[in-house]
Amino acid sequence: MNTELEQTLCCRIEQSIPIPLRVHFNCKAGELLAVVGPSGGGKSTLLRMLAGLSLPQIGHIQLGERILCDTDKHTILSPAARHVGYVPQHFGLFPHLTALDNILSGLDHISKSLRKPRAQKWLETMNLSHIAHRRPRHLSGGQQQRIALARALAREPQLLLLDEPFSAVDWETREFLYESLFHLKSSLNIPVVMVTHDLKEALLLADNMLLMDNGGMLQHGSPQQVLTQPASEIVAKQMGIKNVFSGVVEHEVSALSGSCLNWQGIKVETPYQSSLMVGEHVRWMVPNSGIELFNDLSLVTRKNCFVGTLVSLLDIGDMTRIILRVNANEQVLHLDLSVQVVKQLGLTQGIETVIMLNSSCIHVFSSSD
């Protein structure tokens, strides 16, 4: 029997009130699905519905062969019956209980003789054995977060739900928790659904992403898919892609030669799209990874190469944020490069450089987007 198939989470939810929500997705065992979007977009509501703490107007939630919720058939399992580990935004620890007792509080479903050994095992797993008898007010944010995670995992859940799990901890602790979760998600072999508004966090940890806005599902796919082939301009902006432009399909296109856009007076070659029509006005984007700079101005004769001027350079940590202006059409490009690469290329404000747009990285939005 395929145990991975058994543990796949399948979800379809639709409702208009009190919070609009329209989503459908799958999450396999051993995978982490990051639900990303602005505040008030329905992310936490979705998580509560998966946990059984809220009921959708119309919905079907299935974990393997077990139906957790089916509003058509009036099948609604209680939170306790769902075998779900849930870590809320502010951890939900009992202030009057010690770290050990907080974990024990989630183990009422197993015999008393097994509870303490299991709680102690998860304290050790999270490197928290030394604070077992401290209460939450004497713990750091990172320690409280790990206690909440240990309590959820000690239940040996079939599904793990994390609501903004790292928002209340410092960067050093966050790095440790990222690594811990990265190793845990595959060893647990259960679906993990994490709500976050932090795009970098999602890109770092997620196997798949679900982008939401105003309760609707904008796109569902791997981080690479969403970054390089956003379903719409809204998704591109939500992913932090700044280089989005207008263009006109210039001549006949084919699978062999690709497509050609007129970008404010200069030609840009893009991958072939059968849906494009000559003369059609489109929007297109290129991610940071699709832009390269060269010192040799003779390279401007190559495909998708243009002379540009460096308008500004701003160092942010070990990265430099660059603004470029394409000389031929005055269009502005944004690019992030490592400080080391900037030094190697000798990039300074005001100099001219060759900008190359990798045609395979360019994505043209369909007219329906």
User: Which tens digits make up the pLDDT trace of 293-346?
Assistant: 999 999 989 999 999 999 999 999 999 999 999 999 999 999 999 999 999 999
300: DSSP letter:
G
What is the model's pLDDT at position 256? 66
Pair of tokens at residue 249: 């399909």
Q: Which residue has the tokens 């809204």?
A: 234
**What's the sign of the alpha-carbon dihedral 249, 252, 256, 257?**
negative
Structure-block tokens of residue 260 = 């050609």
Residue-wise pLDDT for 273-287, tens only, equals: 878 888 889 999 999
**What pLDDT is attached to residue 3?**
44
Residues contacting residue 130 through CB under 8 Å, at least 6 positions apart:
none
Single-letter amino acid, residue 313 = L
Handedness of CA 35, 197, 80, 113 (dihedral sign): positive
Q: Which residues contact 342 (CB under 8 A, 6 or more apart)?
A: 313, 320, 322
User: What would the mean pLDDT of 233-241 be, rounded to a whole number?
Assistant: 91
Burial level of 352, CB count in 10 A (0-12/13-18/19+)? middle
pLDDT at 4 exceeding the cut of 70:
no
Report pTM: 0.86
Q: Distance between CA atoms of 92 and 106, rounded to whole angstroms?
A: 12
What percentage of the chain reaches a pLDDT higher than 70?
Answer: 95
Cα 132 → chain centroid: 33
* pLDDT tens by residue, 160-202: 999 988 876 777 778 877 888 888 877 888 999 999 988 888 9
Average pLDDT, the chain: 90
Q: Check: CB of residue 341 under 8 Å from CB of residue 253.
A: no
- Check whether 258 has a pLDDT greater than 90: no
Work out the angle at residue 345's Cα, subtended by the Cα atoms of residues 339 and 351, and round it to the nearest 5 degrees.
105
Please say if the pLDDT value at position 5 is more than 60.
no
pLDDT of amino acid 90: 82
As beta bridge partners, residue 51 has: none
More confident residue, 127 or 62: 62
Q: Which contacts of 184-189 are long-range, i.e. CB under 8 A and separated by 24 or more positions?
A: 184/153, 185/30, 185/31, 185/32, 186/30, 188/30, 188/153, 188/160, 189/3, 189/4, 189/7, 189/29, 189/30
Mean pLDDT of all residues in 40-53: 92
Tell me which amino acid residue 270 is.
Answer: T
pLDDT beyond 70 at 246: yes
Q: Are 287 and 230 in contact (CB under 8 A)?
A: no
Prior bond of 18 cis (ω within 30°): yes
Predicted confidence at residue 278, as pLDDT, reads 87
